[in-house]
Amino acid sequence: MITRREFLQASMAASAILGGSGFGNWSKLAAQQALTQDQLLQFDDFGNVTLIHVTDIHAQLKPIWFREPEWNIGVGEAKGKPPHVVGRAFQDMFGIAPGSPEAYALTHEDFEALGRAYGRMGGMDRVATVVKAIRAARPDALLLDGGDTWHGSMTSFLTKGQDMVNVMNLLGVDAMTSHWEWTFGTERVTEIVESLPFPFLGANIFDAEWDEPAFEPYSIFEKAGTRIAVIGQAFPYMPIANPKWMFPEYSFGIREERMQQMVDEVRGEGVDLVVCLSHNGFDVDRKMVSRVSGIDVILTGHTHDAVPEPVVIGDTILIASGSNGKFVSRVDLDVRDGRMMGFRHKLIPVFSDVIAPDPEMAALIDAERAPYRDQLEEVIGTTESLLYRRGNFQGTWDDLICDAVRSERDAQIAMSPGVRWGTTLMPGDPITREDIHNVTSMTYGQCYRTEMTGEMLKTILEDVADNLFNPDPYYQQGGDMVRVGGLGFAIDVSKPIGARISGLHLTDTGEGIDAAKSYTVAGWASVNEGTEGPQIWDVVEAHVRKLGTVRLAPNTSVDVSGT
């Protein structure tokens, strides 16, 4: 007798041979420069249930450049496993030809050259075309949004997320979960949630005072004759990684036992399929589904990983759909007799020059942008360097931001958060105000200036490094390493907390950092209430205006080992 697990694996192998997962066939077609919308959307319908997953859009309404990470180090059991494989190794692992469209979409190699060949990705009007095409084939498809939707652009900041709410409502979302949404504060979140035509799920969002569930944990949908439970899991470390004073009423956490209870509860109600819509991050989800039984599909988010095939963990498939609207995942499932019997999956890359914009969505996006258009599109400067952020360590955008912070705030050292959002600019691109907001937008963007001792600097670097490189995923918060300017250090990622960071020095002089001495430090995105200073985007704008043209020298201030 074939076990369920064998069936799943057999099903995946078969789909790969047939090109059902999308990437095998597409590669050959693309090599012939024959990318068409039909090929990108091509999918042989399978089974009876379809899930559509988008996540971590970060309010990117328009097509963007987004360079995937050059550094994505895995530690502990995750070492060498997706998504901790980058560049050429990633291409080899998934059989992707160098120079192909999927090499461009999924890795950092030759980003500039391939970007010029294949163009920008994403755009919610293109995403709408993809979603409509899937729904035309499968009218009962469920569209699930993994969160980090309302935050990340100048228009989302100015409208307090309303532009994205309007766009996602038109897209026809069936349920969502959350992370940066909360940085608009409890009052605004509550106001939006009351207006949403779909549930805002979070099994792990609790009342902080009574430690009792505060939001709908799950929703049960009846689609195509099956009952599908979607359990939401919000970002577990909200009050630690983001300012808790903005949502003091709520407590989060992984709450694995709560997730098991919810799975048992919906199974007890006799659902046919259990889907977890998660903002835990890839490694946390991989661990959670190895310890919580009964989840058929986990749609993961937060860590911005795009993985071209489902990762099978026990009886669960894990789907990672990237970020910024670059990808839409379609997952077809054969659900019978209360069991998932097989799946077919495609990570659909949203090439904005290939997929036609949906006219209705394009009109809405234009209308959302119209009141702010002049502000958004004002050109502040030009870049001769590729500007990107994503990666475990400093990107070039971070170098520019740290330069701006040090220069405008007259500080020896700059610190900039290792968030995973922030879009890319190509050499030769103008830098508009909107581009600056795409890498800085937030509701706590004040650029502070303070003094810190050498000891404090080391403590901060060790603490953030442990949030990233702790071998137990449950102790990882899913951000990248803090970015620094004026400061150099060595990091051995294999060491425990307190022993990873060494060789701290001022890059201007090479002088070693003295634990007892004080240094002037400026930075932004402090989680402390009452932080004072100009907004970071104004600081960067002032700096770029003075430079006119941005040219960045290679940054060698961080020395990484132990990978």
Partner 1 sequence: MKLSRRDALWVGFGSLAALVPSLALARTTDEMIAEFSGGSAVGEGGITLTAPEIAENGNTVPVSVEAPGAVAIMLLAAGNPEPAVATFTFGPAAGRQMAATRIRLASTQDVIALAKMADGSIVRAQATVKVTIGGCGG
Please say whether the beta carbons of 159 and 191 come within 8 A.
Answer: no
- Cβ closer to partner 1: 226 or 303? 303
What are the backbone angles phi and psi of residue 519, rounded to the nearest 5°? -130, 150
- Cβ closer to partner 1: 223 or 302? 302
In angstroms, give the least distance from the CB of 307 to partner 1.
16
What are the backbone angles phi and psi of residue 403, rounded to the nearest 5°? -60, -45
In angstroms, give the least distance from the CB of 109 to partner 1.
23
- Cβ closer to partner 1: 469 or 537? 469
Q: Which residues bind partner 1 (CB under 8 A)?
A: 179-180, 208, 210-211, 235, 237-242, 244, 251-254, 257, 281, 302-304, 417-421, 459-460, 463-464, 466-468, 472, 474-475, 477-480, 482, 497, 525, 527
- Cβ closer to partner 1: 91 or 242? 242
Residue 367, class by beta-carbon neighbours within 10 Å (0-12 exposed, 13-18 middle, 19+ buried)?
exposed
- Cβ closer to partner 1: 70 or 110? 70
- Cβ closer to partner 1: 210 or 509? 210
In angstroms, give the least distance from the CB of 528 to partner 1.
9
Instruction: Please tell me the distance from the alpha carbon of residue 230 to that of residue 432, in angstroms, as a whole number.
Output: 40
Name the β-bridge partners of 493. Answer: none
Name the β-bridge partners of 320. Answer: 300
In angstroms, give the least distance from the CB of 185 to partner 1.
15
Name the β-bridge partners of 312. Answer: 317
- Cβ closer to partner 1: 479 or 486? 479
In three-state secondary structure terms, 206 is strand
In angstroms, give the least distance from the CB of 103 to partner 1.
24
Note the helical H segments in 372-469. Answer: 373-377, 396-409, 433-438, 454-469
In angstroms, give the least distance from the CB of 321 to partner 1.
15
Alpha carbon of 417 to those of 39, 79, 90, 399, 461: distances in Å? 39, 24, 26, 12, 11
Instruction: Please tell me the distance from the alpha carbon of residue 194 to that of residue 518, in angstroms, as a whole number.
Output: 48
Give me the helix-helix angle, 162-171 and 186-195, nearest 10°: 30
In angstroms, give the least distance from the CB of 392 to partner 1.
11
